[in-house]
Structure 1
Amino acid sequence: MLRLDGFGLFVNDMAKMITFYRDVLGFEIKESIDTEHVYLIKDDTLFLLYGRNSIEALTRSKFNYAKGISGHMEIALYVDTFDDVDLYYQKLLKADFEIVTEPETMPWGQRTFYFADPEGNLIEIGSFNKPFRR
Protein backbone atom coordinates (compact mmCIF):
# COMPACT_ATOMS: atom_id res chain seq x y z
CA MET A 1 0.00 0.00 0.00
CA LEU A 2 1.39 3.41 -0.96
CA ARG A 3 1.21 6.26 1.52
CA LEU A 4 1.94 9.89 0.83
CA ASP A 5 5.19 10.66 2.65
CA GLY A 6 5.79 14.20 1.44
CA PHE A 7 6.65 16.43 -1.46
CA GLY A 8 9.56 18.54 -2.62
CA LEU A 9 10.17 21.68 -4.59
CA PHE A 10 13.17 22.09 -6.89
CA VAL A 11 14.62 25.45 -5.92
CA ASN A 12 16.70 27.91 -7.89
CA ASP A 13 17.37 30.46 -5.10
CA MET A 14 17.52 28.50 -1.84
CA ALA A 15 18.13 31.55 0.39
CA LYS A 16 15.06 33.33 -0.97
CA MET A 17 12.87 30.23 -0.66
CA ILE A 18 14.02 29.39 2.88
CA THR A 19 13.43 32.98 3.94
CA PHE A 20 9.92 32.92 2.44
CA TYR A 21 8.78 29.58 3.88
CA ARG A 22 10.44 30.21 7.27
CA ASP A 23 9.87 33.93 7.85
CA VAL A 24 6.66 34.62 5.91
CA LEU A 25 4.73 31.35 6.26
CA GLY A 26 6.25 30.23 9.57
CA PHE A 27 7.63 26.82 8.57
CA GLU A 28 10.17 25.62 11.16
CA ILE A 29 13.16 25.39 8.83
CA LYS A 30 16.36 24.91 10.79
CA GLU A 31 18.83 24.66 7.90
CA SER A 32 20.94 27.69 7.01
CA ILE A 33 20.18 29.63 3.83
CA ASP A 34 23.29 28.29 2.10
CA THR A 35 22.17 24.64 2.21
CA GLU A 36 21.32 22.51 -0.83
CA HIS A 37 18.49 20.58 0.88
CA VAL A 38 15.75 21.34 3.40
CA TYR A 39 14.09 18.43 5.16
CA LEU A 40 11.10 19.38 7.30
CA ILE A 41 8.15 17.52 8.80
CA LYS A 42 5.15 19.86 8.71
CA ASP A 43 1.82 18.56 10.01
CA ASP A 44 2.99 14.94 9.58
CA THR A 45 4.03 15.55 5.97
CA LEU A 46 7.59 15.67 4.69
CA PHE A 47 8.33 19.01 2.98
CA LEU A 48 11.57 19.21 1.00
CA LEU A 49 13.41 21.97 -0.80
CA TYR A 50 16.07 20.65 -3.18
CA GLY A 51 18.61 22.78 -4.95
CA ARG A 52 18.07 22.24 -8.69
CA ASN A 53 21.72 21.37 -9.27
CA SER A 54 21.59 18.79 -6.47
CA ILE A 55 18.45 17.02 -7.69
CA GLU A 56 19.81 16.91 -11.23
CA ALA A 57 23.08 15.40 -9.98
CA LEU A 58 21.23 12.89 -7.79
CA THR A 59 18.98 11.75 -10.65
CA ARG A 60 21.63 12.18 -13.37
CA SER A 61 19.00 14.10 -15.33
CA LYS A 62 18.46 17.59 -16.70
CA PHE A 63 15.00 19.08 -16.10
CA ASN A 64 12.98 21.95 -17.54
CA TYR A 65 11.59 24.49 -15.10
CA ALA A 66 8.55 26.71 -15.51
CA LYS A 67 8.94 30.47 -15.51
CA GLY A 68 6.29 32.68 -13.95
CA ILE A 69 3.50 31.02 -11.99
CA SER A 70 3.68 27.27 -12.41
CA GLY A 71 0.49 25.56 -13.47
CA HIS A 72 1.77 22.10 -12.58
CA MET A 73 0.89 21.85 -8.89
CA GLU A 74 -0.53 23.58 -5.85
CA ILE A 75 0.39 23.67 -2.19
CA ALA A 76 -2.77 23.93 -0.07
CA LEU A 77 -2.44 25.40 3.43
CA TYR A 78 -5.25 25.49 5.99
CA VAL A 79 -6.01 28.05 8.69
CA ASP A 80 -8.77 27.75 11.30
CA THR A 81 -10.88 30.83 10.53
CA PHE A 82 -12.02 33.04 7.68
CA ASP A 83 -10.36 35.95 9.52
CA ASP A 84 -7.04 34.06 9.36
CA VAL A 85 -7.43 33.73 5.57
CA ASP A 86 -7.89 37.48 5.32
CA LEU A 87 -4.98 38.20 7.67
CA TYR A 88 -2.59 36.10 5.56
CA TYR A 89 -3.88 37.80 2.43
CA GLN A 90 -3.14 41.25 3.90
CA LYS A 91 0.30 40.11 5.11
CA LEU A 92 1.26 38.80 1.66
CA LEU A 93 -0.24 41.80 -0.11
CA LYS A 94 1.78 44.23 2.06
CA ALA A 95 4.94 42.17 1.48
CA ASP A 96 4.36 42.51 -2.28
CA PHE A 97 4.04 38.83 -3.14
CA GLU A 98 2.31 37.88 -6.37
CA ILE A 99 -1.38 37.50 -5.53
CA VAL A 100 -3.38 35.37 -7.98
CA THR A 101 -6.86 35.77 -6.45
CA GLU A 102 -8.35 37.80 -3.62
CA PRO A 103 -10.01 35.96 -0.72
CA GLU A 104 -13.41 34.64 -1.70
CA THR A 105 -15.97 32.46 0.07
CA MET A 106 -16.84 29.63 -2.29
CA PRO A 107 -20.29 28.04 -2.71
CA TRP A 108 -19.03 24.91 -0.88
CA GLY A 109 -18.26 26.99 2.23
CA GLN A 110 -14.49 27.45 1.97
CA ARG A 111 -12.86 30.88 2.06
CA THR A 112 -9.69 30.81 0.01
CA PHE A 113 -7.15 32.75 -2.03
CA TYR A 114 -4.17 31.91 -4.22
CA PHE A 115 -0.70 33.44 -4.50
CA ALA A 116 2.74 32.44 -5.76
CA ASP A 117 5.88 31.82 -3.74
CA PRO A 118 9.08 33.59 -4.88
CA GLU A 119 9.73 30.96 -7.58
CA GLY A 120 6.17 30.82 -8.92
CA ASN A 121 4.78 27.77 -7.09
CA LEU A 122 1.03 28.19 -6.64
CA ILE A 123 -0.12 28.25 -3.01
CA GLU A 124 -3.66 28.29 -1.65
CA ILE A 125 -4.59 29.43 1.85
CA GLY A 126 -8.10 28.41 2.82
CA SER A 127 -10.48 27.65 5.67
CA PHE A 128 -13.89 26.17 6.35
CA ASN A 129 -14.04 28.46 9.44
CA LYS A 130 -13.34 25.62 11.88
CA PRO A 131 -10.23 23.84 13.17
CA PHE A 132 -8.60 21.41 10.75
CA ARG A 133 -9.49 17.75 11.12
CA ARG A 134 -8.64 14.82 8.88
Structure 2
Amino acid sequence: MNLASVRIITADIKSLVKFYEHVTGVTPIQYTEDFAELKTQSATLAIGSTNTLQFFGGDEVAKAAQNHTAIIEFRVADADKDYERLAGFLQPYIVQKPTTMPWGNRSLLFRDPDGNLVNFFTPVSHEAIENSDAGKQQKFAKKVCC
Protein backbone atom coordinates (compact mmCIF):
# COMPACT_ATOMS: atom_id res chain seq x y z
CA MET A 1 0.00 0.00 0.00
CA ASN A 2 1.26 3.49 -0.81
CA LEU A 3 -0.04 6.84 0.31
CA ALA A 4 -1.08 8.52 -2.94
CA SER A 5 -2.23 11.96 -1.84
CA VAL A 6 -3.56 14.27 0.81
CA ARG A 7 -6.44 16.52 -0.21
CA ILE A 8 -7.18 19.90 1.30
CA ILE A 9 -10.71 21.23 0.95
CA THR A 10 -10.86 25.01 0.70
CA ALA A 11 -13.36 27.80 0.09
CA ASP A 12 -10.66 29.75 -1.83
CA ILE A 13 -8.93 27.32 -4.20
CA LYS A 14 -7.16 29.99 -6.30
CA SER A 15 -5.44 31.49 -3.27
CA LEU A 16 -4.43 28.15 -1.77
CA VAL A 17 -3.10 26.76 -5.06
CA LYS A 18 -1.00 29.92 -5.57
CA PHE A 19 0.29 29.69 -1.98
CA TYR A 20 1.45 26.08 -2.34
CA GLU A 21 2.92 26.75 -5.77
CA HIS A 22 4.95 29.60 -4.28
CA VAL A 23 6.24 27.76 -1.21
CA THR A 24 6.98 24.43 -2.93
CA GLY A 25 8.07 25.61 -6.35
CA VAL A 26 5.90 22.83 -7.82
CA THR A 27 3.73 23.81 -10.77
CA PRO A 28 0.16 22.75 -10.06
CA ILE A 29 -1.99 20.85 -12.51
CA GLN A 30 -5.36 22.61 -12.53
CA TYR A 31 -7.83 20.00 -13.79
CA THR A 32 -10.93 22.14 -13.24
CA GLU A 33 -11.75 25.41 -11.47
CA ASP A 34 -12.48 23.27 -8.41
CA PHE A 35 -9.57 20.83 -8.36
CA ALA A 36 -5.77 21.00 -8.63
CA GLU A 37 -2.81 18.80 -7.76
CA LEU A 38 0.80 19.46 -6.87
CA LYS A 39 2.66 16.26 -7.67
CA THR A 40 5.91 15.47 -5.88
CA GLN A 41 8.18 12.48 -6.25
CA SER A 42 6.60 10.60 -3.35
CA ALA A 43 2.99 11.86 -3.08
CA THR A 44 0.50 14.41 -4.34
CA LEU A 45 -1.02 17.37 -2.55
CA ALA A 46 -4.54 17.72 -3.95
CA ILE A 47 -6.57 20.87 -3.41
CA GLY A 48 -10.31 20.82 -3.95
CA SER A 49 -12.89 23.54 -3.54
CA THR A 50 -15.86 23.04 -1.27
CA ASN A 51 -17.86 22.47 -4.48
CA THR A 52 -16.20 19.05 -4.82
CA LEU A 53 -17.79 17.82 -1.59
CA GLN A 54 -21.01 17.00 -3.45
CA PHE A 55 -19.15 14.08 -5.06
CA PHE A 56 -18.25 12.65 -1.63
CA GLY A 57 -21.63 12.78 0.03
CA GLY A 58 -22.36 16.46 0.59
CA ASP A 59 -21.16 19.58 2.36
CA GLU A 60 -20.94 17.93 5.78
CA VAL A 61 -18.25 15.40 4.76
CA ALA A 62 -15.43 17.93 5.29
CA LYS A 63 -15.15 21.53 6.47
CA ALA A 64 -12.73 23.99 4.89
CA ALA A 65 -10.19 25.77 7.10
CA GLN A 66 -10.94 23.68 10.21
CA ASN A 67 -7.96 21.29 10.42
CA HIS A 68 -6.62 21.04 13.95
CA THR A 69 -5.05 17.58 13.85
CA ALA A 70 -2.92 17.02 10.75
CA ILE A 71 0.43 18.45 9.67
CA ILE A 72 1.23 18.53 5.95
CA GLU A 73 4.91 17.63 5.72
CA PHE A 74 7.41 18.16 2.93
CA ARG A 75 10.92 16.78 3.12
CA VAL A 76 13.17 19.51 1.71
CA ALA A 77 16.88 19.68 0.93
CA ASP A 78 17.57 22.47 3.45
CA ALA A 79 14.88 23.87 5.78
CA ASP A 80 17.09 26.86 6.66
CA LYS A 81 17.55 27.83 3.00
CA ASP A 82 13.81 27.49 2.40
CA TYR A 83 13.20 29.75 5.38
CA GLU A 84 15.61 32.35 3.97
CA ARG A 85 13.93 32.09 0.56
CA LEU A 86 10.39 32.35 1.95
CA ALA A 87 10.76 34.44 5.14
CA GLY A 88 9.17 37.58 3.71
CA PHE A 89 6.33 35.71 2.04
CA LEU A 90 5.64 33.48 5.07
CA GLN A 91 5.97 36.18 7.75
CA PRO A 92 2.28 36.24 8.69
CA TYR A 93 2.14 32.42 8.66
CA ILE A 94 5.29 31.39 10.60
CA VAL A 95 4.66 29.15 13.60
CA GLN A 96 8.29 28.24 14.28
CA LYS A 97 11.51 29.26 12.55
CA PRO A 98 13.85 26.40 11.63
CA THR A 99 14.50 24.35 14.76
CA THR A 100 16.20 21.01 15.28
CA MET A 101 13.72 18.56 16.76
CA PRO A 102 14.68 15.88 19.32
CA TRP A 103 14.26 13.17 16.64
CA GLY A 104 16.89 14.83 14.40
CA ASN A 105 14.89 16.77 11.83
CA ARG A 106 15.37 20.48 11.19
CA SER A 107 11.81 21.82 10.88
CA LEU A 108 10.25 25.03 9.61
CA LEU A 109 6.60 25.21 10.69
CA PHE A 110 4.04 27.56 9.18
CA ARG A 111 0.35 27.72 8.38
CA ASP A 112 -1.22 28.04 4.96
CA PRO A 113 -3.91 30.71 4.38
CA ASP A 114 -6.61 28.25 5.54
CA GLY A 115 -4.75 27.60 8.81
CA ASN A 116 -3.42 24.12 7.95
CA LEU A 117 -0.10 23.42 9.66
CA VAL A 118 2.79 22.79 7.24
CA ASN A 119 6.24 21.41 8.07
CA PHE A 120 9.27 21.76 5.79
CA PHE A 121 11.81 19.39 7.32
CA THR A 122 15.33 18.16 6.65
CA PRO A 123 16.86 15.17 8.44
CA VAL A 124 20.10 16.48 10.02
CA SER A 125 21.19 14.02 12.70
CA HIS A 126 22.98 10.84 11.69
CA GLU A 127 20.07 8.73 12.96
CA ALA A 128 17.42 10.82 11.17
CA ILE A 129 19.37 10.61 7.91
CA GLU A 130 19.81 6.85 8.30
CA ASN A 131 16.08 6.42 8.98
CA SER A 132 15.04 8.58 6.04
CA ASP A 133 14.02 7.05 2.73
CA ALA A 134 17.33 8.14 1.17
CA GLY A 135 19.29 6.50 3.99
CA LYS A 136 17.33 3.27 3.62
CA GLN A 137 17.95 3.28 -0.14
CA GLN A 138 21.69 3.71 0.43
CA LYS A 139 21.73 0.77 2.87
CA PHE A 140 19.81 -1.39 0.37
CA ALA A 141 22.17 -0.41 -2.48
CA LYS A 142 25.20 -1.40 -0.38
CA LYS A 143 23.67 -4.80 0.40
CA VAL A 144 22.80 -5.47 -3.24
CA CYS A 145 25.88 -3.96 -4.82
CA CYS A 146 29.03 -4.47 -2.77
Fold match, TM over 0.5?
Answer: yes
Q: 1:78 touches 1:132 (CA, 8 Å); kept in 2? A: no
| Counterpart-to-counterpart distance in 1, 2:84 and 2:92 | 10
Post-superposition Cα deviations, 1:82-133, rounded to whole Å, max 9, x if no partner, equal xx21122233331134111121112332111210011111100111136962
Post-superposition Cα deviations, 1:21-45, rounded to whole Å, max 9, x if no partner, equal 112321221328x711013431131
Q: Percent identity?
A: 24
| Counterpart-to-counterpart distance in 1, 2:64 and 2:45 | 20
Q: Which residues in structure 2 correspond to 1:1-134 (within 5 Å)?
A: 2-31=1-30, 35-55=33-53, 57-63=54-60, 65=63, 67=65, 70-80=67-77, 84-95=78-89, 96-129=91-124, 133=134
3-state SS in 1 of match to 2:96: coil
Q: How many residues align?
A: 127
Alpha carbons of 1:67 and 1:106: their partners in 2 closer, same or farther (altered >3 Å)?
same
Point out the structure with max Rg over C-alpha.
2
Q: 1:97 touches 1:117 (CA, 8 Å); kept in 2? A: no
CA RMSD of aligned residues (A): 2.5
1:75 CA displacement: 0.8
3-state SS in 2 of match to 1:126: strand
Q: Which structure carries more relative contact order (alpha carbon 8 Å, separation 6+)? A: 1
Give the gaps of 5 or more residues in structure 2: 137-146
Alpha carbons of 1:13 and 1:126: their partners in 2 closer, same or farther (altered >3 Å)?
same
Alpha carbons of 1:111 and 1:39: their partners in 2 closer, same or farther (altered >3 Å)?
closer
| Counterpart-to-counterpart distance in 2, 1:77 and 1:100 | 16
Give the gaps of 5 or more residues in structure 1: none
Normalising by structure 2, we get a TM-score of 0.73
Normalising by structure 1, we get a TM-score of 0.78
Q: Which amino acid aligns with 1:72?
A: T
